[in-house]
Structure 1
Amino acid sequence: DNSQSKSDKKDALVIADMVKNGYYSEVRYTSESFEKLRVLMSNRDVVVKRLVSTINQLNRWVDIVFPELRQVFKDIKGKGAIATLRLFPTPTELETMQPHDVITGWKSIMKRQPGLKKAMLLLQVARRSVGTRQALDEYKFHLNQLLEEYDLAVTQLVRVEKQVTEALNKIPFAMKLLTIKGISEISLAGILGEAGDLSNFSHGNSLLRHAGLHLAEASSGKWKGQIVISKRGRSRLRRFLFLATMSLVVNNPEFKALHTHNVKVKKMKKMKSIMKLVGKLARIFVGISRRNESYCADKLKLLSPIAA
């Protein structure tokens, strides 16, 4: 009926009607090697999220207790900044110290440590710090916990990425895909983990549809909406395809030339050009996997209007 009421019986009838008319897609079963990549990359996402959260909390801690530390170390997660936070985190501890004391402390936990100028600058900014001087013991306790979380996340990230590399090496065509300049092991592992065996796809467009990167139009009667990306597919596969394409545009000469031609000659918007190159990358990946051949930059150059 056309009433606005909704019930479980109506839902079941709608689903049955869609299946009868063929509006469904079959589940893609993947082999164990690709399932391993998917599990490992999912684990890596969780670890990276925790690491980013811890770094943000460290930045907040520095803003409150020792904001002048950024005048000495621009990156709080750098080795020098982390070593300083471990040894003498608050400005009050540095007020009575000499430069050689700071350098000695750095040498105790760093192989390559900052020099005398950094130490003198650190003591100088510590003496005129505007950071809080209340509840310092509690702030130091909080910092120790944050550093423990940071160390754990970094260690786990190294371990999971090592496992990803080992799993990737067991896939035959993965090494051929890695010969493409600009494709990293992490981005390729993310794509293969979400998509499975690329040789099972009939065309690159099938991979795009699996990721939800195919085009869709919203229209009703005489009204026609914009043609947009459907986003009905694997969201993590979309993310890794996009990040891989961005890396190729920066590091790969062929993709960089295509992107430049799209923007300057065809007058495309940069994001539209990127999304067009995502489709090209999908077709290249599926083609290499199906034919089990190596990447040939000359073929891509022949397709480029600039090379022609």
Structure 2
Amino acid sequence: MVDVDIAKETHHARAFDFRGIEYGKHIEFSNDSNGMEKFLKWAIEIMNKNDKEKLVIGMEPTGHYWFCFAQFLRDKNHKVVLVNPFHVKRSKEFDDNSPTKNDRKDPKTIAMLVKDGRYVEPNIPEGIYSELRIVVDIRERLMKDLNRIKNQIVRWLDIYFPEFNKVFADWEGKAALITLKEFPTPAKVLENGTQGILATWKKEIKRAVGIKRAEKLVEAANKSVGKKHGIEMAELEIKLILEQYEMLLRQLKNIESKIEELFMQVQGSNDITAIKGVGVITAATFIAEVGDITKYEHPKQIQKLAGYNLVENSSGKHEGQTTISKRGRRRLRSTLYKMVMPILANNKEFQELHKYYTARKENPLKKKQSMIVLCCKLIRIFFAILKKGVKYDGNKMLKDVKRPEKIRNVA
């Protein structure tokens, strides 16, 4: 096996056998095609020299720098395994009782973890699953940018026109956005007056616009305590912020359209969204995070991937509290939890199951605990639909009520 310490520009590698005996010399190679070919030539020479038939490459997934190297090795039909960075950090003192970290020591630490079987084989998405993961990543970044811009607009209003939100319940409403574009400051409102504001609204809003709203806006502007200096640049600022806001909305709409288009190409996607409460975006995010579900043998693997597997801290007579591990793909865990909320609002079977879990006589769950159990239930349902091709059956899901199983408390 060869173990590699990944970096942005230069990787470091050492070769060991299953007993931990090192072969050859430490090698450095660049993170480009020439460097990767150099590494592979070095590794194969060591294999041939020592009569080894298989090559296993272990590495620590450092940021995104391992993606290209792992793809290069997989394309050459070599096995790639990953070790947990947390395990590397904790085990690096075993050999020399020192927290020293360097490019020569780290590959050996990784090698000892791989030798002991403390690794995972990465499930790198391919084809439609790769496309879905990328587009879901894009949407998440756009959502973060959009929330940042919204916060900037709220901050701007608090400084220059704090009374605005007393006139409009939602600044994202059509009339409110027109107002922010055309007369955002109290001075501009007073300059246009009630009739000028009404005339501007009527150009873009077909339904009848109330004069009372315009009068209330003028009154609020007249009594505004907003900042009155630097108004010219403040108007330029809100104009630029609103342009970014509208651009992000357009981009988000296009991306969500693309997500839906890709999602519909996944076999079983229609059966998932046929469940009341399951939306296209959240279902697509689940598939983007999990990848090809046929590569999993059991739904508990996905449960662990999401960090919903149970852990406990008990010793001797002390029985600690059981919690979920929260180790895994955070977005998958978050998506499942967010998915359960609209399901509980729309799906009668899930509502009944939730009621049973929280009200049963033995071991009743708190509402949040019940929702976590339902997240795991949802994983099993998706697994059956996508891998086995079965249809959702609400009556079958309610077997937990008719034939209850002991479910441990989760926090």
After TM superposition, the score normalised by the length of structure 1 is: 0.91
Instruction: Verify the 8 A CA contact 1:198 1:285 in the aligned structure 2.
Output: no
Instruction: Verify the 8 A CA contact 1:103 1:113 in the aligned structure 2.
Output: no
Q: Does 1:129 align with 2:224?
A: yes
| 1:190-205 equivalence runs, <5 A | 190-205=285-300
1:136-171 Cα distance to aligned partner (Å, 9 max, x none): 101101101100110111010001001001101111
| 1:173-252 equivalence runs, <5 A | 173-218=268-313, 225-252=320-347
The equivalent of 2:357 in structure 1 is: 262
SS of match in other structure, 2:278: coil
The equivalent of 2:111 in structure 1 is: 16
The equivalent of 1:295 in structure 2 is: 392
Would the alpha carbon gap of residues 187 and 113 (structure 1) be closer, same or farther in structure 2, given more than 3 Å must change?
Answer: farther
Alignment partners' CA distance in 2, 1:216 and 1:2: 32
The equivalent of 2:100 in structure 1 is: 6
1:77-111 Cα distance to aligned partner (Å, 9 max, x none): 22221111011111112224443321210122334
Alignment partners' CA distance in 2, 1:5 and 1:104: 72
| 1:16-165 equivalence runs, <5 A | 16-112=111-207, 114-165=209-260
Between Structure 1 and Structure 2, the one with more helix by share is 1
Alignment partners' CA distance in 2, 1:163 and 1:113: 36
The farther-off stretch of 3-12 and 237-246 is 3-12
Would the alpha carbon gap of residues 112 and 47 (structure 1) be closer, same or farther in structure 2, given more than 3 Å must change?
Answer: farther
Would the alpha carbon gap of residues 84 and 239 (structure 1) be closer, same or farther in structure 2, given more than 3 Å must change?
Answer: same
Residue 218 of structure 1: CA displacement? 4.5
Would the alpha carbon gap of residues 286 and 7 (structure 1) be closer, same or farther in structure 2, given more than 3 Å must change?
Answer: same
The equivalent of 2:375 in structure 1 is: 278
Instruction: Verify the 8 A CA contact 1:180 1:295 in the aligned structure 2.
Output: yes
The farther-off stretch of 184-193 and 232-241 is 232-241
Structure 2 residue identity aligned to 1:153: L
Instruction: Verify the 8 A CA contact 1:261 1:305 in the aligned structure 2.
Output: no
Instruction: Verify the 8 A CA contact 1:68 1:126 in the aligned structure 2.
Output: yes
Which structure ranks higher in relative contact order (CA pairs < 8 Å, sequence separation ≥ 6)? Answer: 1
Structure 1 residue identity aligned to 2:211: L
Residue 236 of structure 1: CA displacement? 1.2
SS of match in other structure, 1:180: coil
Residue 2 of structure 1: CA displacement? 6.9
Alignment partners' CA distance in 1, 2:390 and 2:340: 20
After TM superposition, the score normalised by the length of structure 2 is: 0.70
Instruction: Verify the 8 A CA contact 1:212 1:231 in the aligned structure 2.
Output: yes
1:261-295 Cα distance to aligned partner (Å, 9 max, x none): 22233531221111111110100100111221221
Would the alpha carbon gap of residues 259 and 158 (structure 1) be closer, same or farther in structure 2, given more than 3 Å must change?
Answer: same
Q: CA RMSD in A?
A: 2.3
The farther-off stretch of 128-137 and 263-272 is 263-272
The equivalent of 2:37 in structure 1 is: none
Would the alpha carbon gap of residues 76 and 113 (structure 1) be closer, same or farther in structure 2, given more than 3 Å must change?
Answer: farther
Residue 172 of structure 1: CA displacement? 1.6
Residue 28 of structure 1: CA displacement? 1.3
Instruction: Verify the 8 A CA contact 2:278 2:342 in the aligned structure 1.
Output: yes
Alignment partners' CA distance in 1, 2:283 and 2:133: 11
Alignment partners' CA distance in 2, 1:276 and 1:164: 28
Alignment partners' CA distance in 2, 1:232 and 1:267: 26
Structure 2 residue identity aligned to 1:3: N
Instruction: Verify the 8 A CA contact 2:267 2:386 in the aligned structure 1.
Output: no
Q: Does 1:166 align with 2:166?
A: no
The equivalent of 2:4 in structure 1 is: none
Ranges in structure 1 where 5+ consecutive residues have no aligned partner: none
Alignment partners' CA distance in 2, 1:5 and 1:40: 40
Alignment partners' CA distance in 2, 1:10 and 1:217: 33
Instruction: Verify the 8 A CA contact 1:198 1:289 in the aligned structure 2.
Output: yes
Instruction: Verify the 8 A CA contact 2:273 2:280 in the aligned structure 1.
Output: yes
What's the % identity of the aligned pairs?
34
The higher radius of gyration belongs to 2
1:214-260 Cα distance to aligned partner (Å, 9 max, x none): 12344678776543322322111111111112221222211122112
Instruction: Verify the 8 A CA contact 1:18 1:24 in the aligned structure 2.
Output: yes
SS of match in other structure, 2:267: coil
Alignment partners' CA distance in 2, 1:263 and 1:173: 32
SS of match in other structure, 1:304: helix
Alignment partners' CA distance in 2, 1:233 and 1:278: 15
SS of match in other structure, 2:322: strand
Alignment partners' CA distance in 1, 2:101 and 2:239: 54
1:59-88 Cα distance to aligned partner (Å, 9 max, x none): 011111111111111112222211110111
